[in-house]
Structure 1
């Protein structure tokens, strides 16, 4: 198994995982236009970092994250937007390895914290995040579509 930075050749597999992730989180169907923009942000604009998990020449998971700023901490942090593993690879310690890779990256760019969210119905993810030392913040997330 390898956890590595995504390459353009991985994008078809990433798209399948992103679609499965959206379905798992009951987020609806993703448009091809959105997925094409994602490719551009990962590989061309360099706004978001994307790790993939490769097992036996197959991409079985991914994580996307980016550097953001916290006004209250007056410091940068890493925002983990997505972490998803296919069903067959969950519970094998791969999520912990992905988080360790993101920690190393965060430290390398002087970020002292990683933040993320998960739906309240995703009890397995909540248990995993608690197990690795994550602390829950009580906040509601809002979305305002403007176009």
Structure 2
């Protein structure tokens, strides 16, 4: 049985393990710069900067979805920016990802939000197929990252 729930500060260890899990899956562990303390301070206060949903499969943590809120000046509305969707390998193919996406959709409906937006690695064929089955549409657009530091 799959259940989903909004993450709380008591889930910080689990969330951090899931973040490391997705980073390892994509061979991007060196890009994880956050830590549990930062996550607690930024995600579980009076003005959280992110939200997260945890999925349990028969009482075992199976995956998570994290998100932030953003505003589209072109659309003239707020939207959910899906940051990560990750399911542990042993739970893939069990509809865990679908349940996480449905939970996110319900959060948006409660806030009268009509758009969820996210990125996907071009070579992640299974994820792209999954998102297509949801009815989501992929667009081709490059993503720039400009990391600013004292020398810029």
Q: State the TM-score, normalizing by the size of structure 2.
A: 0.88
CA contact (8 A) 1:62 1:85 kept: yes
CA contact (8 A) 1:61 1:84 kept: yes
Partners in 2 of 1:121 and 1:39 — Cα distance? 32
- From 117, 128, 144, the equivalent of 1:115 is 117
1:22 match: 23
Q: State the TM-score, normalizing by the size of structure 1.
A: 0.91
CA contact (8 A) 1:6 1:50 kept: yes
CA contact (8 A) 1:2 1:53 kept: yes
Give the gaps of 5 or more residues in structure 1: none
1:116-140, CA deviations, whole angstroms, 9 ceiling, x for partnerless residues?
1111111110110011111001101
More off after superposition, 4-13 vs 98-107? 4-13
Q: How many residues are matched?
A: 145
CA contact (8 A) 1:10 1:59 kept: no
1:38 match: 39
More off after superposition, 20-29 vs 91-100? 20-29
- From 42, 45, 61, the equivalent of 1:59 is 61
Please state how far the C-alpha of 1:19 moved relative to its aligned partner.
0.5
Please state how far the C-alpha of 1:105 moved relative to its aligned partner.
0.7
Give the gaps of 5 or more residues in structure 2: none
Partners in 1 of 2:40 and 2:27 — Cα distance? 22
